[in-house]
Structure 1
């Protein structure tokens, strides 16, 4: 498929940001005149200037370019970079056309094992990101990082970036196995929304829990097939991006750590960064924060351990028996990364087992005779 017809080239970047041989920009194959070979790339960058799903339009011509200016001046990391920058996506005639255009492009990239990083654009663009998985013929895991939970279903809310999660949940055919929400702020969320997620056995991690122990988010991030990151989840000190200004939220360091976890995830096949508004970006600070987040994501990607074969010698298998149950709970620990996984068996009569990421605390809970909450949530979704 000729993807170049969907993109606008980055001619302003051709010489300015690649002069330093040790810079990120010098290591990226850029669409300035010739479209890069995305089929052989590990990672593909895509800018999307689409804000019709938001109440806040942008006056900037290409917001992703502000991020590129910061990113390409950073020093290249340790990975053997095979990164293509495809340029800026040409929006569709309608917002729905943009969703479908994004779906088609990401679907092709994912099919060739090229991981797209989308630099948006309003947060509802993750609906197009989600649609790219429709033909995989398997259920997928979505993780969103956001201060809010965008599940408005009222007709009084006309903006898609406040309703996109509801649309994903209601999409047919239904191929969503789990939706996990990270870094939400309770005072911005209606209690009924949290109750809905609990009924669906979805996992949530509050911002306060992350501040207390960032490691709580690691197993959640590690189970994702796709991640959707709203920049408004970051506090105004690190990302003065929105007109409202939120003094609370993730620190810049926490946001980068979450991106490191995401890059390390062997299962992750697409990553979206949304709701960047350059006109509100004081001194380019938000663009710099996003650039460093992408840098850490790329570093994580090139430190992947390929920990997907649980029968290999990379893993130690632990079986924990419960006194009142003849069945055993099975855990796996990686000898390489020290990370943990556990087997969860479905409630149906069929032999249906999933191996899902967990924490060492989950293993300790099981060893004390307590069923980990993550095990219960996963089994609930398998029912």
Structure 2
């Protein structure tokens, strides 16, 4: 597949980046399309806003973030990063979704992680649909101040896209995690629907109390969709209407680190940034730093997937009811926890899912962790 046909090259106006910066090491599409097949990560700029009520901003969101991102210092990893340029929009919004789907699917096939930047949040439709080609269940985690499941006639795609993902047929979604929503912005019927579907949610207040609670939800994800309007406006002035509440820049960067560090995750999208409202470039700097933490997290992956190896400690916890015991695994190096969930309906069906130390402590006290109950329901 000749991906170069779908992208506009970047302007050849790169400043004199220092030899230790990301800009000096990333292969950018200026004259020659980069070799994305041998890259670890591929940055894709998106300027599609037809799904947004506010319409197209005058400036290019991905280009504004790139200016800040490439000035940052290279981390500890090899930095096999390519920048494919900005995706050309389709004739219709649906065409853009399908174009994005094909490009993300091609990158996944070659084990290159797509990093999507810019555009309205509904572009995660194209990101999500790419996983249909994998022919296996996948898990999605979404960071957003709202839960975009509007049903009103005439609602814009950015307000309805999550409903479309959850109701997509054929259904290849195993699990969904919603993080960072503000309860006063979400109808109780929407949260009740997620609960009925046995999906896990983590409110903004819970993340603010302990950001580490978000790590297992992000570690379970194959793909992450991050609406940057989930950040508080004083630290991310890149959207309207402005909100004084939301994630801090540090918390958002921490979430991106968790996502990058996830061995299972194969794509991420950062959506919703509007540079027209970011007069001093603070929002661009925040988004660039979030990208940096994702890339750095990626190069700190430990490939912790073989639970039979000596890199894990296995704990069996006895329980008074059914099941009679729960099995946990703890990685010696990173101290991350996993929990084995065996289907009560069919013992041959089991899944090892990310969990927290608190889940282990709850089981040790004789109680079933809520994460076990939700996963059991999903196993059917």
Interval containing the TM-score (normalised by the shorter chain): over 0.9
Determine the C-alpha separation between the residues in 1 that align with 2:147 and 2:165. 13
Match of 1:88 among 54, 71, 86: 86
Which digits, 9 at most, give the CA deviation of each residue in 1:126-174, with x for residues without a partner? 01000000011111100000000000122242x0000001001111110
CA distance in 2, matches of 1:310, 1:4: 40
2:137 aligned partner: 139
- In the alignment, is residue 181 of structure 1 matched against residue 178 of structure 2? yes
Q: 1:53 aligns with which of 51, 54, 59?
A: 51
Pick aligned residue for 1:296 from 293, 309, 313: 293
Q: Distance in 1 between matches of 2:286 and 2:48?
A: 21
User: Paired residue for 2:119?
Assistant: 121
1:355 maps to 352
Identify the residue that residue 28 of structure 2 maps to in structure 1: 30
Using the TM superposition, give the Cα deviation of residue 17 of structure 1 relative to its aligned residue in structure 2, in angstroms: 3.5
Question: CA contact under 8 A between 1:62 and 1:88: conserved in structure 2?
Answer: no
In structure 2, the residue matched to 1:7 is 7
Kept in 2: contact 1:17–1:72 (CA 8 A): no
Which residue of structure 1 lines up, in the alignment, with residue 109 of structure 2?
111
Distance across 2 between alignment mates of 1:32 and 1:61: 19
Q: Which of 204, 208, 213 in structure 2 is aligned with 1:207?
A: 204
Output the CA distance in 2 between the equivalents of 1:348 and 1:17: 61
8 Å CA contact retained: 1:344, 1:356: yes
Instruction: Specify which of 221, 233, 257 is matched with residue 236 of structure 1.
Output: 233
Q: What's the RMSD between the two structures over aligned residues?
A: 1.1
- Given that 1:70 and 1:288 are in contact with CA atoms closer than 8 Å, whether structure 2 keeps it comes out as yes
Mapped partners of 2:352, 2:279: distance in 1: 45
Per-residue deviation, 1:18? 5.1
Q: 1:311 aligned to 308, 313, 321, which one?
A: 308
Contact 2:219 2:258 in 1 (8 A): yes
SS of residue in 1 equivalent to 2:344: coil
Give the drift of 1:312.
1.1
Shift of 1:243: 2.1
CA distance in 1, matches of 2:128, 2:355: 24
**Matches of 2:181 and 2:323, distance apart in 1:** 39
User: Does the CA contact (< 8 Å) of 1:143 and 1:221 recur in 2?
Assistant: yes
1:350 Cα offset (Å): 5.0
Q: CA deviation at 1:346?
A: 1.8
Relative to structure 1, the CA distance from residue 43 to residue 326 in structure 2 (aligned partners, 3 Å threshold; closer, same or farther) is closer
TM-score, normalised with respect to structure 1:
0.97
Equivalent of residue 380 in structure 1, options 363, 366, 377 = 377
Q: Is the 8 A contact 1:49 1:61 kept in 2?
A: no
Residue of structure 2 equivalent to 1:169? 166
Question: Which residue of the partner structure matches residue 155 of structure 1?
Answer: 153
Unaligned runs of 5+ in 2: none
Aligned partners of 2:118 and 2:273 also within 8 Å: yes
CA contact (8 A) 1:123 1:274 kept: yes
**Alignment size in residue pairs:** 380
**Map 1:208-357 → 2, pairs under 5 A:** 208-325=205-322, 327-349=324-346, 351-357=348-354
Quickly say closer, same or farther: Cα 1:101–1:76, change in 2 above 3 A. same
- The answer to whether the 8 Å contact 2:50/2:56 transfers is no
Whole-angstrom CA distance in 1 between matches of 2:182 and 2:269? 20
Hey, what's the Cα distance between the residues in 1 that align with 2:323 and 2:291? 47
